[in-house]
């Protein structure tokens, strides 16, 4: 029996990732494959580096796309910066802070866990207190956009503390890059990694990565070899650096085509306009969800506009409603992770997913399901509340 062609169902991706992909990006992926050492491809890699510098808001010469998902970016950051026995202070207020601890310990480092309640940002004063009593630390690692909770971590004060204590600042921007300001240079970030399938609206498979000259110097001074050959940035640099171009691995050629086009879309829209779009659509969505009795988990001032995490009342069978959204309406949203499993919904308005039409379509579907379940009696409340936000923004 011959295996039939796979035709994916049509979905509206409003979960924690991946996000909707622009037709131009899909078209770029279908371009003919050329060699990964072809001069035309190497020139295209230079374009990717330049476009990533714009998106990261950095002048770092070492700004590349690692061949691998965001998790590869996380591992690359830790295994290059941290040698066995060195200490990393890790902010833990969700799943991905916890993962940073595990990666640090797996490569022989010592992780100091600085915990905050899930949904709350790490307090810089708590960071300072730990630094005073811990002794020297090689790095401070923070998740700017905690995808498991929808919490936005401010970085400026923590970056100042990192400089005062001669520690590198490592930042997880997997969900934030292209959705909120990352501003690598202005914020004083030494190593920053992201992923393509969130606010860049590109299929998963690459990890945008940038490293400062200060961090590069620390990597060069290592006493031991990097624990990973594949993610050793000194080796990868020889492939990405213009003029050297030494073979290291076969790059995912079509994925780099796609990333280049996705970054061109970011450049065309402009970062300020892109950030404003994410904020507007998040505001409209959360206003509508409040009418359904779904309050945000994170506190005001700490809420991500591209990953909206809301608390679901016990009376609502959250997994069942999510399944109906998917099967009946073709809309995907995410459930909770870890201790938040069964308690929250994670609704992504990332990149191409962040539009007025998508917000209203989701709210309309939820209203219908809530009326059907007996949790809402008056139709139009959520859609009306969100529509008023849009009317005020576009008089």
CATH code for position 328: 3.90.1150.10
With H, G, I as helix, E, B as strand and everything else as coil, classify residue 331.
strand
Task: Check whether residue 195 and residue 324 sit in a common domain.
Answer: no
Is residue 293 left, alpha or beta, with left meaning phi > 0 and alpha meaning psi from -120 to 50? left
- What whole-number distance in Å separates Cα of residue 16 and Cα of residue 50? 27
Q: What is the dihedral of CA 357, 178, 342, 90, to 10 degrees?
A: -170
Q: Classify residue 118 by its DSSP letter.
A: T
| Amino acid 394: pLDDT | 84
**Strands (DSSP E) found in the chain:** 12-13, 62-67, 87-92, 110-115, 139-143, 145-146, 151-152, 168-172, 191-193, 206-211, 307-311, 331-332, 334-335, 344-348
Q: Domain holding 54: CATH number?
A: 3.40.640.10
Q: Are 202 and 21 in contact (CB under 8 A)?
A: yes
Task: Check whether residue 210 and residue 330 sit in a common domain.
Answer: no
Is 14 part of a structural domain of the chain?
no
Task: Check whether residue 30 and residue 177 sit in a common domain.
Answer: yes
| Amino acid 241: pLDDT | 83
Task: Check whether residue 221 and residue 278 sit in a common domain.
Answer: no
For the chain, residues with pLDDT lower than 50 are none
Task: Check whether residue 260 and residue 277 sit in a common domain.
Answer: no
Q: Which residues are annotated as a binding site?
A: 346
Is 376 part of a structural domain of the chain?
yes
Last-in-domain residue among 210, 244, 268: 268
Report the relative pairing of strands 307-311 and 344-348 from DSSP bridges: antiparallel
With H, G, I as helix, E, B as strand and everything else as coil, classify residue 193.
strand
Bridge partners of 209? 64, 193
Q: Number of folded domains in the chain? A: 2
Encode pLDDT of 110-137 as tens digits. 999 999 999 999 999 999 999 999 989 9
| Amino acid 116: pLDDT | 98
- Give the DSSP per-residue string, 35-94: -TT-HHHHHHHHHHHHHHHHHHT---SEEEEEES-HHHHHHHHHHHH--TT-EEEEEESS
Task: Check whether residue 322 and residue 207 sit in a common domain.
Answer: no
Is 3 part of a structural domain of the chain?
no
What predicted TM-score, i.e. pTM, was given to this entire model? 0.97
Q: Which residues are annotated as a binding site for substrate?
A: 346
Task: Check whether residue 115 and residue 229 sit in a common domain.
Answer: yes
| Amino acid 43: pLDDT | 96
Which token pair is 310? 């809301």
| Amino acid 12: pLDDT | 99
Task: Check whether residue 193 and residue 220 sit in a common domain.
Answer: yes
**Residue in the structure block whose two tokens are 């579907």:** 365
Based on the number of CB atoms within 10 Å of its own CB, is 364 exposed (0-12), middle (13-18) or buried (19 or more)? middle
Which token pair is 322? 């999510």
Is 263 part of a structural domain of the chain?
yes
Is 375 part of a structural domain of the chain?
yes
Handedness of CA 265, 271, 273, 279 (dihedral sign): positive
Is 91 part of a structural domain of the chain?
yes
Is 389 part of a structural domain of the chain?
yes
Residues with Cβ within 8 Å of residue 338, at least 6 apart in sequence: 94, 95, 98, 118, 148
Task: Check whether residue 294 and residue 354 sit in a common domain.
Answer: yes
Task: Check whether residue 187 and residue 290 sit in a common domain.
Answer: no
Last-in-domain residue among 246, 268, 290: 268
Query: How many Cβ atoms from other residues are within 10 Å of residue 395's Cβ?
Result: 4
Task: Check whether residue 324 and residue 367 sit in a common domain.
Answer: yes
Domain that holds residue 243: 23-268
Among residues 65, 18, 10, which one has the least CA distance to residue 352? 18
Helices 253-269 & 271-291 angle (0-180, nearest 10):
90
Task: Check whether residue 124 and residue 213 sit in a common domain.
Answer: yes
Is 149 part of a structural domain of the chain?
yes
Last-in-domain residue among 242, 268, 294: 268
Based on the number of CB atoms within 10 Å of its own CB, is 244 exposed (0-12), middle (13-18) or buried (19 or more)? exposed
Up-side HSE of residue 307: CA atoms within 13 Å toward CB? 31
């Amino acid at each position: 029996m011959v295996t039939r062609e796979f035709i994916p169902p049509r979905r509206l991706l409003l979960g924690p990732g991946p996000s909707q992909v622009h037709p131009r990006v899909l078209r770029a992926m279908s371009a003919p494959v050329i060699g990964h050492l072809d001069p035309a491809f190497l020139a295209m890699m230079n374009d990717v580096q330049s476009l990533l510098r714009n998106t990261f808001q950095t002048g770092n010469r070492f700004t590349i796309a690692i061949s691998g998902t965001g998790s590869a970016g996380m591992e690359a950051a830790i295994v290059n910066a941290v040698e066995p026995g060195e200490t990393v202070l890790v902010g833990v207020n969700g799943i991905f802070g916890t993962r940073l601890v595990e990666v640090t310990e797996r490569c022989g480092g010592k992780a100091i866990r600085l915990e905050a309640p899930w949904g709350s940002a790490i307090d810089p004063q708590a960071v300072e207190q730990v630094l005073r009593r811990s002794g020297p630390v090689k790095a401070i690692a923070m998740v700017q956009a905690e995808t498991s909770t929808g919490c936005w971590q401010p970085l400026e004060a923590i970056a100042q503390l990192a400089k005062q204590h001669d520690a590198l600042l490592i930042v997880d921007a997997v969900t934030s890059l292209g959705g909120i300001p990352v501003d690598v240079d202005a914020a004083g970030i030494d190593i920053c990694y992201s992923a393509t399938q969130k606010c860049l609206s590109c299929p998963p498979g690459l990890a945008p990565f940038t490293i400062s000259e200060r961090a590069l110097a620390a990597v060069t001074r290592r006493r031991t070899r990097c624990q990973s050959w594949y993610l050793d940035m000194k080796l990868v640099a020889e492939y990405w650096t213009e003029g050297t171009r030494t073979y290291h691995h076969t790059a995912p050629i079509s994925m780099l085509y796609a990333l280049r086009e996705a970054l061109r879309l970011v450049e065309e829209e402009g970062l300020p306009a892109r950030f404003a779009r994410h904020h507007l659509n998040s505001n409209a969505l959360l206003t509508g969800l409040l009418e359904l009795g779904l309050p945000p988990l994170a506190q005001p001032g700490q809420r991500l506009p591209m990953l909206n995490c809301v608390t679901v009342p016990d009376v609502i069978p959250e997994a069942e409603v999510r399944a109906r959204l998917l099967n009946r309406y073709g809309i995907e949203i995410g459930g909770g992770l870890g201790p938040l499993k069964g308690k929250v919904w994670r609704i992504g308005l990332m990149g191409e997913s962040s539009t007025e039409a998508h917000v209203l379509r989701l709210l309309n579907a939820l209203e219908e399901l809530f009326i059907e379940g007996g949790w809402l009696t008056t139709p139009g409340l959520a859609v009306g509340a969100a529509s008023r936000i849009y009317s005020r923004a576009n008089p």
